[in-house]
Chain A
Amino acid sequence: SYELTQPPSVSVSPGQTARITCSGDALPKQYAFWYQQKPGQAPVMLIYKDSERPSGIPERFSGSSSGTTVTLTISGVQAEDEADYYCQSADNSGSWVFGGGTKLTVL
């Protein structure tokens, strides 16, 4: 079955830039979406269609795509950004898939 691969964890100091990658063979043909989830809360969409940011999401969150990898970039990381981050896309049959998630630790 189709998989999206994320690093299990990323650590960064406050004010620095965090980059979380997501790899999948179908990503050149399918849009990617990114979600943030804090403990005990529902996920929140950060990025849609690879790089679009919904209203209300801070500008420090951005998305990009290159080949089979999409990247969520968090510029000027803040303590409140410590959370789990999930990418989501679809396989070539249209079935939705989520990545395994990346735990962002703010040192």
Chain B
Amino acid sequence: EVQLVESGGGLVQPGGSLRLSCAASGFTFSNFDMYWIRQGKGRSLEWVSSIATAGDPYYPGSMKGRFTISRDNANNSLYLQMNSLRAGDTAVYYCARGGNGLDYWGQGTLVTVSS
């Protein structure tokens, strides 16, 4: 059974940093692109970052420079380093597998940026 379990969310002050993790199991992690998607309360979904099997990272323009995605294929783990956090980054952050589309999602981890 495919499982994705996010961790690392929490309350952080504006300007602070957080590192999210996603533990994957039930599939050959190294064979799949992986994604971070976020959703603010009452809002739509937003692509945050993705990483190819070979490790190439991709970001929308709005995330470049503050967020860094990485993966550890040996430990079946995905990461998102988030720096210079702002109130607008408050959201549930989901880890998702990129099969044909985002075919499996974790349950998400809540990041709250507030003083």
Contact = CB atoms under 8 A, between A and B. Distances in A.
Contacts of B35: 96
Nearest to A43: B105
A42 B103 contact: no
Contact of A33 (B50, B61, B94, B102): B102
Interface string B59-87: 01100000000000000000000000000
Interface stretch (B13-21, B24-32, B40-48): B40-48
B103 A96 contact: no
Secondary structure of the B contact surface, majority rule: strand
Interface residues of B, number: 18
Contact of B102 (A35, A95, A101): A35
Interface of B: 35, 44-47, 50, 58, 60-61, 94, 100-103, 105-108
24 contacts: A33-B101, A33-B102, A41-B107, A42-B105, A42-B107, A42-B108, A43-B102, A43-B105, A45-B101, A45-B102, A48-B103, A49-B100, A49-B101, A52-B100, A54-B100, A88-B45, A95-B60, A96-B35, A96-B50, A96-B60, A97-B47, A98-B46, A98-B47, A101-B44
